[in-house]
């Protein structure tokens, strides 16, 4: 009775357009009342579980670092250097867009931060240079998909918290898939640039190129500090995020002189607003996990999947999970999918013998693909607002060229686990 009531209220709040975290809480309250459990237990679950997950401290720190880089013009200087480095290449700004996203991925860990931050600069530069709006928006959406795959990654932090997988090995596993995705996107830029005769870049004199490198070098050093700190055993991922925040504050304030107390205060407020909803949703998800565990839903799912024979083939289970993620991602917030679905899939994945680090990369890429897919696709709406391009034209360009490319990358990463796990194993992973 209690779990039925929970599902009805949770589904009703979602159908009525309320925030999904609100539905989790309201459904949890109904379940606790129906089951005769003291409501104070609900708040205990939310507060204690959230406090116990130390790894989650990395999330606000990564968001703060990316906000500082965007608002203090560090990313502007990086994009300017990459743009000049492309030289006289047809579609040069398309390549620069992708390369800048790969660099920015080493700090932000968020596709939305990439699109709303550096994407704003990239799209305006491309429109000014004669590129059409749908292409400028679509390549920005597609390149931003790389951000959460290449470490650091906010979705990977949440995945590690939910599954117990090593965050360090998850970060390592994302490198090659992220670079591979970037390579595929560059091939698409090459094809479309030739087909549509996009503008060629200009050759920058060596002196100007060198000056651009020097100006951008402090910003380029930020992801290096983070990754060397983590894999050199100097910092944990959370400590590395804190060090990078301190570094970008010092660089912005004393080298670029683009950050003062007032601007830093505004950035801190912006960051708190960014993480408030995420934190509330994570806390609410602990209530859902409690309900599902108490009602033994994961065990029931495992038994059902065993009867259907899905656990006999890890490849079939991976395909089923990908389809589920893809369909849900078209309608539901990515964080909500992670927090609700992964705890239910985890016993199935473990029973089928699927490596948790490999599954984490598959999950991350699939959910980032959801951000590009209509009707929910947030990146399409953001880039449309930035460029003034009708959102329908953005999604048309995405569905025609970029979504099939991302699906191809997802299939290769799904069914070639050795490619994903090559770097983690090189660093001692035994999974």
Distance CA 318, CA 340 (A): 18
Please indicate, yes or no, if residue 431 is contained in any of the structural domains: no
In a domain, 83, yes or no: yes
Domain of 377? 38-426
Chain-centroid distance of CA 278 in Å reads 13
CA angle 72, 73, 79 (to 5 degrees): 150
| Residue 14 within any structural domain of the chain | no
Q: How far apart are CA 183 and CA 373, in angstroms?
A: 21
Number of folded domains that form the chain: 1
Cβ contact 231:169 at 8 Å: no
Residue 387 phi, psi (nearest 5): -95, -20
In a domain, 168, yes or no: yes
Task: Identify the pLDDT of residue 197.
Answer: 93
Identify the H or E element spanning 97: helix 92-104
Residue spans of alpha helices (H) in 197-255? 206-231, 237-250
Measured between alpha carbons, how far is 336 from 167 in angstroms, rounded to an integer? Answer: 20
Distance in angstroms (rounded) separating the CA atoms of residues 213 and 82 = 9
pLDDT at position 6: 85
**SS3 sequence, 266-284?**
HHHHHHHHHHHHHHHHHHH
| Residue at token pair 């660089």 | 251
Q: At what angle do helices 2-15 and 261-294 cross, to 10 degrees?
A: 140
Single out the residue of 236, 226, 249 nearest to residue 57, CA to CA.
Answer: 236
8 Å CB contact between 166 and 357: yes
**Is residue 331 in a domain?**
yes
Q: Would you tell me how many other CB atoms lie within 10 Å of the CB of residue 291?
A: 22
Is residue 23 assigned to a domain?
A: no
DSSP assignments along 103-159, one per residue? HHTTT---HHHHHHTHHHHHHHHHHHTT--HHHHHHHHHHHHTTTTTSSS-HHHHHH
Helix (H, G, I), strand (E, B) or coil at 428: coil
Is residue 301 a part of any domain in this protein? yes
Residue 200, strand partner residues: 90
For residue range 192-243, what is the model confidence (pLDDT) as tens digits?
999 999 998 778 888 999 999 999 999 889 888 888 888 888 888 888 889 9
Identify the three-state secondary structure at position 201. coil
Q: What is the pLDDT of residues 20-37, one digit of tens each?
A: 788 888 988 999 998 888
**What is the pLDDT, as a whole number, of residue 301?**
73
Query: Are the C-beta atoms of residues 90 and 193 closer than 8 Å to each other?
Result: yes
Instruction: Give the burial string for 221-252 (b: 16+ CB within 10 Å, else e).
Output: ebbebbbebbbeeebbbbebbbbbbebbbebb
The burial of 407, by beta-carbon neighbours within 10 Å (0-12 exposed, 13-18 middle, 19 or more buried), is given as middle
Kindly state whether residue 32 falls inside one of the protein's structural domains.
no
- How far, in Å, CA of 90 to CA of 124, rounded? 18
Residues 6+ apart with CB under 8 A from 4: none
Reading phi first (left if > 0) and then psi (alpha if -120 to 50, else beta), residue 415 is in alpha
Place of tokens 């990754």: 227
Are 53 and 96 spatial neighbours (Cβ–Cβ below 8 Å)?
Answer: no
pLDDT in tens, the chain (431 residues): 678 888 888 888 877 777 778 888 898 899 999 888 888 888 888 887 776 676 777 888 888 988 898 888 888 899 889 988 888 899 999 999 999 999 888 777 778 878 887 888 889 999 998 899 999 999 999 999 998 999 888 899 999 988 999 998 999 999 999 999 999 999 999 999 999 999 987 788 889 999 999 999 998 898 888 888 888 888 888 888 899 999 999 999 999 999 999 999 999 998 888 787 778 888 888 888 888 888 887 777 777 776 776 667 888 889 989 988 888 888 777 888 888 889 888 988 998 899 999 999 999 999 998 888 888 788 888 899 888 999 999 999 999 999 999 999 999 999 999 999 999 999 889 87
Identify the bridge partners of residue 90 per DSSP, sorted by sequence position.
Answer: 200
Q: CB of 181 within 8 A of CB of 385? A: no
pLDDT at 311: 67
Predicted TM-score (pTM) of this structure? 0.88
């Amino acid at each position: 009775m209690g779990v039925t009531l929970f599902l009805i209220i949770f589904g009703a709040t979602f159908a009525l357009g309320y925030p999904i975290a609100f539905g989790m809480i309201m459904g949890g309250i109904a379940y606790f009342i129906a089951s005769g459990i003291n409501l104070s237990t609900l708040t205990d679950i939310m507060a204690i579980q959230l406090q116990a997950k130390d790894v989650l401290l990395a999330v606000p720190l990564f968001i703060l670092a990316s906000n500082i880089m965007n608002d203090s013009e560090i990313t502007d200087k990086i994009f300017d250097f990459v743009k000049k480095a492309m030289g006289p290449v047809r579609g040069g700004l398309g390549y620069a867009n992708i390369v800048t996203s790969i660099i920015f991925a080493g700090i932000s860990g968020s596709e939305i931060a990439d699109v709303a931050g550096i994407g704003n600069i990239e799209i305006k530069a491309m429109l000014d240079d004669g590129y059409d709006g749908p292409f400028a928006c679509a390549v920005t959406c597609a390149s931003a998909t790389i951000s959460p795959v290449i470490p650091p990654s906010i979705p990977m932090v949440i995945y590690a918290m939910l599954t117990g997988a090593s965050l360090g090995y998850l970060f390592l596993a994302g490198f090659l898939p992220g670079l591979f995705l970037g390579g595929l996107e560059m091939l698409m830029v090459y094809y479309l640039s030739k087909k549509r005769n996009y503008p060629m870049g200009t050759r920058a004199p060596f002196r100007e190129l060198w000056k651009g490198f020097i100006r951008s070098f402090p910003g380029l050093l930020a992801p290096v500090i983070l990754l060397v700190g983590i894999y050199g055993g100097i910092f944990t991922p959370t400590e590395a995020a804190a060090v990078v925040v301190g570094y970008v504050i010092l660089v912005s304030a004393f080298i670029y002189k683009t950050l003062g107390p007032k601007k830093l205060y505004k950035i801190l407020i912006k960051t708190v607003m960014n993480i408030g909803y995420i934190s509330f949703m994570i806390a609410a998800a602990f209530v859902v996990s409690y309900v599902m565990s108490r009602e033994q839903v994961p065990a029931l799912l495992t038994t059902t999947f065993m009867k259907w024979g899905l656990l006999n083939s890890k490849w079939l289970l991976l395909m089923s999970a990908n389809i589920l993620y893809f369909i849900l991602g078209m309608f539901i917030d990515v964080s909500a999918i992670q927090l609700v679905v992964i705890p239910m899939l985890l016993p199935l994945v473990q029973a089928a013998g699927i490596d948790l680090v490999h599954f984490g990369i598959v999950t991350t890429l699939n959910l980032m693909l959801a951000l590009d897919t209509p009707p929910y696709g947030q990146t399409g709406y953001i880039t449309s607002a930035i460029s003034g391009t009708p959102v329908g034209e953005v999604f048309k360009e995405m569905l025609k060229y970029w979504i099939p490319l991302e699906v191809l990358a997802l299939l290769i990463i799904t069914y070639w686990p050795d490619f994903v796990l090559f770097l983690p194993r090189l660093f001692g992973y035994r999974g």
